Amino acid sequence: MSTDSHPSIDEEGDATELQALRERVAELEESIADADDDTGGKKMTIIATKGTLDMAYPPLILASTAAAFDWEVVVFHTFWGLDILHENNSKNLKLSAVGNPNMPMPNAVAALPGMDAMATKMMRKKIDENDTATIEELIDLSLAQGVDLQACQMTIELMDYDEADFYDGVTTGVGAATALQHMAESDVQLLI
């Protein structure tokens, strides 16, 4: 008998399996590294349905913040939410005192003539005093960050608006089917 050790057939098979296993592990590690390298990749769809001063802020703040994190963001504006994107109407959004549970007055008082104007004036003053961004500034910021601000075509027609009345960069001609498609593909869907 020889003292030289020669690999047996089983050892050679094990070596081949071990090499295949090492190659597979390397592939998996590369795949995980590629997945970790993906930046952002998240999608968010916001449906904006209200056009009051206090309800214009949430969709724009959430959209611009998500875009800052490299999310793909669509804000679909429909019905009264369309006024947020209307260049003239967005500068005159009101705050409703009636039905707002956080208003420091009962609804009977809030319903008096002039109370909405007073509530709006107080809110605008607070916005100015705190150097809070205006609706127009948030729209500009959102568009600059790549947020797709969409105006519902059916609502444009219903409200008899002209597409030229919206801020530059707003996507018009969008229908519910397009909004639904983006929602179906989104990680986050919000109705505001």
Q: What is the pLDDT of residues 12-55, one digit of tens each?
A: 667 888 888 888 888 878 777 666 555 558 999 999 999 999 99
pLDDT tens per residue across span 95-119: 887 777 677 777 767 777 887 888 8
Are 81 and 175 contained in the same domain?
yes
Integer Cα distance of 46 and 191 in angstroms:
6
2 in any annotated domain: no
Asked if the structure places residue 173 within a domain, the reply is yes
In whole numbers, what is the pLDDT of the chain averaged over residues? 87
pTM over 0.85: no
Asked whether residue 70 is domain-assigned, the answer is yes
Q: Is the pLDDT of residue 124 over 70?
A: yes
Closest CA to 88 of 172, 164, 176: 164
Are residues 119 and 48 located together in one domain of the fold? yes
73 part of a folded domain: yes
The answer to whether residue 3 is domain-embedded is: no
Place of tokens 């956080």: 102
Which value, to the nearest 10 degrees, does the dihedral of the CA atoms of residues 100, 102, 105, 110 take? -20
Which residue range(s) make up the domain with 16?
A: 11-40
Q: Are residues 32 and 72 in the same domain?
A: no
Answer whether residue 109 is part of any domain: yes
Distance (Å, whole) CA 29 – CA 21 = 12
Check if the beta carbon of residue 48 is closer than 8 Å to that of residue 74.
no
